[in-house]
Structure 1
Amino acid sequence: MKFYPQIEKLIKELEQDFSFISEERKTDLKLFAEKIRESIQQFKKAKVIVICTHNSRRSHLGQIWLRLAAEKYNIPMETFSGGTEATTFHPNMISALKISGFRVEEINSGENPSYQVKISEEDNNREELFSKVYSDQYNPQGNFIAVMVCTEADGGCPFVVGSVARLSLPYQDPKYADKTLHQAAAYQATLNEIGREMLFVASLV
């Protein structure tokens, strides 16, 4: 797949920054890659649900970047996201995605709108992105890898029903910068950090 030029440029920059990932963090990311390989061997395809508390920022980023990384590295993997509660896909994260070159289209409006995110002109993915609990019927109910990307969800879900593996990969929530002069930079930093690490994981699979 030929990604949009701005995304292609960002991918190259993030791959060049793999050395910025600490050795301690790489240990956790290597375990994630190992679990993806095991799922592919066992089920022919890996399924990953990225989970945070509100399914509004970090979990959606994890889902989007993992799907992109799977396309880039030709990995049979489906990606999903969810929360311990449902809110809305936060508009600040939507803005960060658009600024970074992703094409985001609103499919349904309302209090909890749904979106489709495109990574290339030939991207035929029809996955709808909206805020939901991780056990929502839209997500797989079994044989999936659960990745906890916030400490609150990690502590609140010691066991995820249906998962074949449960991993903890917490990221700082960029909402700390909402309505400040640092808002755009904080969201971009989170987008880049999650992108870098998901690409690193995929490169090991």
Structure 2
Amino acid sequence: MYPTLLDTIEQLDWEQLASDERRAALQTLVDFVQRKVTTGQQVNLNFICTHNSRRSHFAQVWAQTAAAYFKIPNVSSYSGGTEETALFPKVAETLTAQGFHVFKTTDTANPIYAIKYDDNSLPVIGFSKKYDHPFNPISDFAAIMTCSQADSGCPFIAGAEKRIPITFEDPKISDHTPDQTKVYAARSLEIAAELFYVFSMIKK
């Protein structure tokens, strides 16, 4: 992994999560991943939020990175929304500052990004899409709801083997304020710490 990214990871305090309630929410995801790993199956994770523009992309990238860091096999991380918009540019900027190498591969209204945590690993592909977009798995995946609006607005996710609500506050609240950079960085690290906690619990 890239040195700056490893420095960021070393600052994550994933063993000291805030509450038992939060650990309980994350345990459902731990159990899903562990069962797949134990039985040698593919681990498909689809992180879902309303616009697939901020939190779901942070979660997609950090989940794939955590799986690689802990050498958990057969993990594929995806993201989607209840509607298609675009990956918010501040997300790419934040991930770059935290050590990822981020490349915009198309320059359209909904650009596609390649997000790399290591030179020799496949990039995470980031772009906004509906959760049932053909890019994403159609069955045997966990639908991880990263915002309460998507959780309440999507009572049914076709093909999902398990639905897991793990919601985060939207960093969008800081847009157009002096605190934007700080808020996006903090939200990214919060999501990272929780997903590193999940993958740290997996026994191979």
TM-score when normalising by structure 2: 0.95
- 1:73, distance to aligned residue in structure 2 (A): 1.2
The question of 1:54 aligning with 2:58 is answered: no
Contact 2:111 2:127 in 1 (8 A): yes
**Counterpart in 2 of 1:187?**
184
**Counterpart in 2 of 1:80?**
78
Contact 1:62 1:195 in 2 (8 A): yes
Q: Which structure carries more helix by proportion?
A: 1
- For residues 99 and 123 of structure 2, the distance between their equivalents in structure 1, rounded to whole angstroms, comes to 18
The question of 1:128 aligning with 2:135 is answered: no
Alpha-carbon spacing, 1:85–1:43, altered in 2? closer, same or farther (3 Å): farther
Mapping of 1:104-119 within 5 angstroms?
104-119=102-117
- For residues 17 and 166 of structure 1, the distance between their equivalents in structure 2, rounded to whole angstroms, comes to 23
- For residues 131 and 14 of structure 2, the distance between their equivalents in structure 1, rounded to whole angstroms, comes to 31
- 1:127, distance to aligned residue in structure 2 (A): 4.1
- For residues 162 and 37 of structure 2, the distance between their equivalents in structure 1, rounded to whole angstroms, comes to 13
**Matched positions, count:** 201
Give the letter aligned to residue 170 of structure 1.
T
- For 1:68-103, what per-residue CA distance to the aligned partner results, in whole angstroms no more than 9, with x for missing partners? 011011112110000000000001111111111111
Residue 169 (structure 2) aligned to one of 169, 172, 178: 172
Contact 1:49 1:147 in 2 (8 A): yes
Residue 91 (structure 1) aligned to one of 89, 92, 95: 89
Give the letter aligned to residue 63 of structure 1.
Q
Percentage identity across paired residues of the two chains: 34
- For 1:83-138, what per-residue CA distance to the aligned partner results, in whole angstroms no more than 9, with x for missing partners? 00000000111111111111100011110000000112222x14421000000000
Residue 23 (structure 2) aligned to one of 1, 26, 45: 26
**RMSD over equivalenced CA pairs, Å:** 1.2
Give the letter aligned to residue 19 of structure 1.
Q
Give the letter aligned to residue 154 of structure 1.
D
**Counterpart in 2 of 1:13?**
11
Contact 1:65 1:194 in 2 (8 A): yes
- 1:175, distance to aligned residue in structure 2 (A): 0.5
- For 1:21-59, what per-residue CA distance to the aligned partner results, in whole angstroms no more than 9, with x for missing partners? 311101111111101122334561210000000000000
TM-score when normalising by structure 1: 0.94
Unaligned runs of 5+ in 1: none
- For residues 139 and 152 of structure 2, the distance between their equivalents in structure 1, rounded to whole angstroms, comes to 21
Unaligned runs of 5+ in 2: none
Q: Which moved more, 1:17-26 or 1:72-81?
A: 17-26
Residue 198 (structure 1) aligned to one of 189, 192, 195: 195
Alpha-carbon spacing, 1:163–1:17, altered in 2? closer, same or farther (3 Å): closer
Q: Secondary structure at the match of 2:16?
A: helix
- For residues 152 and 51 of structure 1, the distance between their equivalents in structure 2, rounded to whole angstroms, comes to 10
Contact 1:30 1:204 in 2 (8 A): no
